[in-house]
Amino acid sequence: MPTSSAAETGTLQALFDETIAAEQRIEPRDWMPDGYRKTLVRQIAQHAHSEIIGMQPEGDWLTRAPSLRRKAILLAKVQDEAGHGLYLYSAAETLGADRADLTAKLIDGTQKYSSIFNYPTRTYADVGTIGWLVDGAAICNQVPLCRSSFGPYARAMIRVCKEESFHQRQGYELLATMMRGTDEQRAMVQESVDRWWWPALMMFGPPDDESPNTEQSMRWGIKRNTNDELRQRFVDMTVPQAEALGVTLPDPALRWNDRRGAHDFGEPDWSEFKAVLRGDGPCNAERVANRRAAHEDGAWVRAAATAFAAREQAAP
């Protein structure tokens, strides 16, 4: 009956609102508004896709690592990213999303991944810079998500963040080693930081007044800080690390502001950000084509696993 189901939805909505207000977790079995579910599926899918596509820029260097030690570290890091993607696809599945469908949307371009992975890795210093700046920015974004209102996402983030800390440290350690090396190595680090600094700042998304979904996501406890707050946190965290490394961040407007108790910094080129999101970044086509080829090449593995599972189920 329409009246009773409306009343029922009203009660369920009230329960949901109380859970959010009490800072408790929403679990997959709980009722949730459609918008909440859709927003989470979109965000978690985009996050999962970023982890998987994010394996490519550094993966390009696996066969060219300068030593066995560097190769072992890089392999471990890239494998961690695959694991992050898997936890996140699983979290999306608890919301009723279908993983095959999410993959299809990634390779047909209807779902996005972080714009940062559309930039090329030109030198081995980029492996260090990505760890330091890109994983560093990811940590700023993801630590507050450990308190996300959706249980499976928040719990996945705890392990992901621990691994991201390792990624950030290995990147910093690699750059610190190069900075103690030759003039050529130091120049290589600086050139790499010059290329990655601005794209790293763009990882926090557009400025708050151009981020239409932020307010609702914050009311739902999906997001805990605005894009600009997180960008500021990242800049404040990174400046002393750059000083310790001895590299210059390529922003003439970057300086400490005593009154705000924070660093002032310049504006990223948002037209570049929009172009990369539109698909016009230096590596968009290559990244998606690689992912599509890997998916097609893996068809026999999926078929074999499905046949095996069916046989196991049929067994007495």
- Choose one: 15-23, 94-102, 129-137, 174-182; the region binding Fe ion (CB under 5 A): 129-137
The CA angle 249-270-212, to the nearest 5 degrees, is: 120
Rg of the Cα trace of the chain?
A: 21
Minimum CB distance to Fe ion, residue 313 (Å): 33
CA distance 77 to 250: 27
DSSP bridge partners of 256: 263
Q: 95, 135, 179, 195: which one contacts Fe ion (CB under 5 A)?
A: 135
Minimum CB distance to Fe ion, residue 47 (Å): 9
Q: 49, 70, 167, 231: which one contacts Fe ion (CB under 5 A)?
A: 167
Quick one: DSSP state of residue 216?
H
Q: What is the per-residue binding string for Fe ion in 194-233, x denoting contact by CB under 5 A?
A: ----------------------------------------
CA distance 226 to 71: 37
**Residues in region 78-97 near Fe ion by CB under 5 A:** 81, 84
Nearer to Fe ion, 81 or 126 (CB): 81
Q: What is the per-residue binding string for Fe ion in 45-64, x denoting contact by CB under 5 A?
A: ------x-------------
DSSP character string of 121-150: --STHHHHHIIIIIHHHHHHHHGGGGG-SB
Number of residues that bind Fe ion (CB under 5 A): 6
Cα within 13 Å of Cα(134), Cβ side = 27
Minimum CB distance to Fe ion, residue 50 (Å): 8
Residue 128's CB: how many other CB atoms inside 10 A?
A: 27
CA distance 73 to 171: 10
Minimum CB distance to Fe ion, residue 167 (Å): 4
Minimum CB distance to Fe ion, residue 134 (Å): 8
Q: Which residues sit at the interface with Fe ion, rule CB under 5 A?
A: 51, 81, 84, 135, 164, 167
